[in-house]
Amino acid sequence: MEKRQFMFIRLLFISLFLLTNCQSNKDQSISEFTSNPIISNPESSMEGMLVDIIHDSIVKLYFSIPKKAIKLHNGTIISALSDSNNGKNFQWNYDNYFGKVRIVKSSFEKDNLCRTWIQQIGKTRNYSPYGVNNNLIKETSKIDNKTACFNFNNGKWFFIDDFFE
């Protein structure tokens, strides 16, 4: 009996250690928008306690964007930047994840072509309130806007930070 309890506690600590140390790969993304999870937990009164750390880790793992989805979002951004039309929607889908990109403004600034876009990335999941399956779908997403400029001298895009001149 004691041996089973010891093995259970040991397995519990190992699983908690692995769960709290799992992180998504951040090397794949163009910007920090896809590197961060769709939802991040706000600070709470239980901050730093084991229960809060486990909850934050589970939310981070559940709402982290997979590598393939990050690549699809990056490709969608590049496709949208390469298209000359404003207002055209570019979309991708992967498993339960989705993304949308729309160019909203094009302008010339200091001999560079600058384009501003709105991007949305999210996750859909089945929603069954009170255990009743009504085929409802719940969508959780985040929205952001970014600007990139094309330098005609070197032929490369560079991102513009709104708070940096």
Dump pLDDT digits (tens) for 39-72: 766 666 666 677 777 777 777 777 788 899 999 9
H helix or E strand, kind and range, residue 145 = strand 136-151
- 9-23 pLDDT, tens digit each: 776 667 656 555 555
Burial (CB count within 10 angstroms: exposed 0-12, middle 13-18, buried 19+), residue 93: exposed
Residue of 24, 25, 96, 12 whose CA lies nearest to 54: 12
- 129-155 pLDDT, tens digit each: 787 778 888 888 889 999 999 989 998
**Whole-prediction pTM:** 0.69
Helix, strand, coil shares of the chain, percent, nearest 5, are 35, 35, 30
Percentage of the chain with pLDDT > 70? 79
CA distance 81 to 149: 9
What is the model's pLDDT at position 26? 47
